[in-house]
Amino acid sequence: MDDLEKATLLIRVAKQVGNGGDGRALLTWAEELLSGAGAASAKAKARTKTEVSFPVSVFAHHKGKKYDALLLQDCKIQLDGKVYRSPSAAAAAIAGYRYPVNGWRFWRYRNEKGEERPIDDLRE
């Protein structure tokens, strides 16, 4: 079973479970499978440790509000004093758990040129 099939199954189960914590967790997991975060996170950690100075100030805009957070060295997000296990989990907490959110594209940072970029660029 490939990641797409696993994610599809997780989404179907999450719909049956509902909007509670278990359903949200399943949707986040499915989103990470679809984005390749599960397989890529170990590579991202190894690459970014030498290229990026942690923590990285990150931000996101959602429904007209700006959220400031920190990307930690272990690819976790610290937002308002709470540490989330992944960028996607933190993004889902902001956007609502009804639909999965790709946190690697949701969170942004400013590079050395001052350009706004998705934190997904830090994994390359």
Report whether 59 contacts 78 (CB < 8 A): no
Give the residue with greater pLDDT, 76 vs 22.
Answer: 76
Q: What is the mean pLDDT of residues 46-55?
A: 61
| Res. 47 pLDDT band, cuts 50 70 90 | very low
For residue 33, what are the CA distances in angstroms to 47, 111, 114? Answer: 20, 27, 31
CA nearest 60: which of 34, 25, 87, 33?
Answer: 87
71-81 pLDDT per residue, tens: 998 899 999 99
Q: How many domains does the chain have?
A: 1
CB atoms closer than 10 angstroms to residue 69: 23
75 secondary structure, DSSP code: S
- Supply the range of the domain harboring residue 104: 3-123
